[in-house]
Amino acid sequence: MRKFLIKQWLRKHDWFWETRTRIFAWYVGLTTMFIGLSIPIFTELTIIQVDLRVKEDLLEEIEAFEESFRDDTEEDIAIIFDRFLQYKIPGDKTFLIATINGQFYRSSPLSLPQAISPDSPLIKNVAQTKKPLRGKNLIPDSQVGDIIYQAEPVEIDGQVRGVLIVANIPQGERIEVLAAILVVIEVLLVAFILALIFAWRMVGKVLNPIRSLTKTAKTISETDLSQRIPVRGQGEMAELAKTFNKMMHRLETAFKTQQQFLNDASHELRTPITIVRGHLELLEYNDPQEIAETIPLVLDELDRMGRFVEELLLLAKAERRDFLILEEVDLSELTVKMYLKMQGLGERQWQLDSQGKGKVIIDRQRIIQAMMNLAHNALQYTTKPDTIALGSAIEKEHIHFWVRDTGIGIPPQDQERIFQRFARSSNSQNNTKGAGLGLSIVSAIVQSHNGRVELYSQLGKGSTFTIVLPKNTKLKNTKLM
């Protein structure tokens, strides 16, 4: 039940899932953990430090006594203790206690706290020791806190006569240290709160581009792809905004191209439909001669439409991964075959420039199709006495196929544009029956082979279209027969 209520609450409160809240929650959690762990560790370490220092001080007192005792030739232990304690003023909260034969003798300072008074169990016990007690001697006392002590038995003529006990009650010093730590905690808390406010604002600021991205993405509709996100500063967020803008630019271009394509395609189809319709409307159905004259015209237009639709389908197919069917092809044989096929297109001075030798991996049918398109164009923009030549060659890792003509040529400003869909050169606007898709198809076939088309053309002198392909086309997901 409780789980269900929590879930319902979380679903209702979207802000809880916001990145800002989550980053902030992590920040609070981690900082709290860090402070929560570091304060006790820091306190403990400081207390250990204090205790170590106290123990060192105690050892120093003992060493001072040993030194004075070493030089002393006196045999009476009481005199030895008197000489030392008379002039020795111990440090703060340090007590020097001398015992003779297990009994308290005298101390410096004179008054001792209850826990180390002459009758205390601690002093009575330690007064009996025959061995030096040094290091970690710590007795917890409920009244005064811990007592740190060290003891040095004094031997005269091989017999232990008395013991010098040095004791310290470090509670006061510890309290001072704890008070200092408390101040540190207070400062840390204030800094922590300030850091929280700062972190909340900073996280908000850092995530701003994402919010703006979401807002922009929401306002983008299919018809308006012109929105962009403002890019501020540098770093991942700016990079994200830039990437998003680039993506939007690509989408916008693709969308415009698609629209243009639809416009052009429908325009191309409208012309033959209008012509066919015109012919049929004016047709005298009783006049066999007119029917005989009209039918070829109508069929011609329908053929044109059919070809156009085929071309469109081919372009659409070229986008697919399984467009190519790769196989090993003998280059020389393929070139000769294409040469023979081209000659059937029309009467020209056909020439075979050269035949490359060797085996290559390509899609035979598609390459023939691309070359036939080029030859078809060459035929269209040349006249009978002109030459149309084709050839192939292997240069290092590339295959070259070319179609060369001595026709009208293409003006430089059109040489890039004519590869676009529906584009025609200004030089040949009225000369062509095609829809302007021939070279786009060549490009699509060549690109799917990871190759490129090069064009060299001079107005009035002719054009050479060269297809450059890798010798062994390697494509993922394509069939190799």
List residues near ligand ADP by CB under 6 A: 377-378, 381, 405, 407-408, 410, 418, 423-425, 428, 432, 434-440, 463
Question: Which three-class secondary structure state does DSSP give residue 138?
Answer: strand
Query: 163 by DSSP, 3-state: which?
Result: strand
151 forms beta bridges with 133, 165
Report which of 208, 250, 262, 242 is spatially closest to residue 225, judged by C-alpha positions: 250
* Amino acid identity at 108: S
Our CB check for ligand ADP shows the closer of 324 and 378 to be 378
Of 301 and 405, CB closest to ligand ADP: 405
Nearer to ligand ADP, 120 or 382 (CB): 382
CB of 342 to ligand ADP, least distance (A): 13
Using the minimum distance from each CB to ligand ADP, give the nearer residue, 266 or 472. Answer: 266
Q: How far is the CB of 415 from ligand ADP (least distance, A)?
A: 9
* Least distance CB 386 / ligand ADP (angstroms): 10
Long-range contacts of 73-77 (CB under 8 A, 24+ apart): 75/156, 75/157, 77/154, 77/156, 77/161, 77/162
Q: Which two tokens stand for residue 196?
A: 């929280």
- Least distance in angstroms from the C-beta of 428 to ligand ADP: 4
Q: Which is nearer to ligand ADP, 363 or 405 (CB)?
A: 405
Residue in the shown chain whose Cβ atom is closest to ligand ADP: 434
Minimum distance between the CB of residue 385 and ligand ADP, rounded to whole angstroms? 16
Count how many Cα atoms sit within 13 Å of the Cα of residue 425 in the half-sphere of its side chain.
23
Q: Which residues of 171-181 are buried (b: 16+ CB within 10 A; e: fewer)?
A: eebbeebeeeb
Of residues 360 and 418, the one with the C-beta less far from ligand ADP: 418
> What contacts 79, CB < 8 A, 6 or more positions away?
none
The DSSP element (H or E) to which 468 belongs, if any, is strand 462-470
Judged by CB, which is closer to ligand ADP: 94, or 463? 463
CB of 246 to ligand ADP, least distance (A): 29
Choose between 61 and 405: whose C-beta lies nearer to ligand ADP. Answer: 405
Q: How far is the CB of 413 from ligand ADP (least distance, A)?
A: 12
What span, in angstroms and rounded, lies between the C-alpha atoms of 440 and 204?
49
Sign of torsion over alpha carbons 309, 311, 313, 315: negative
Pick from 433, 453, 448: which is nearest to 308 by CA?
Answer: 433
Q: Which residues pair with 390 in a beta bridge?
A: 352, 403
CB 377 → ligand ADP: shortest distance, Å?
3
Minimum CB distance to ligand ADP smaller for 163 or for 445: 445
Q: CA angle, 379 as apex, 376 and 383 as ends, to 5°?
A: 170
Helix axes 438-448, 364-380, angle to 10 degrees: 150
Dig out the tokens for 67 from the structure: 């030194």
- Least distance to ligand ADP, CB of residue 407, Å: 5
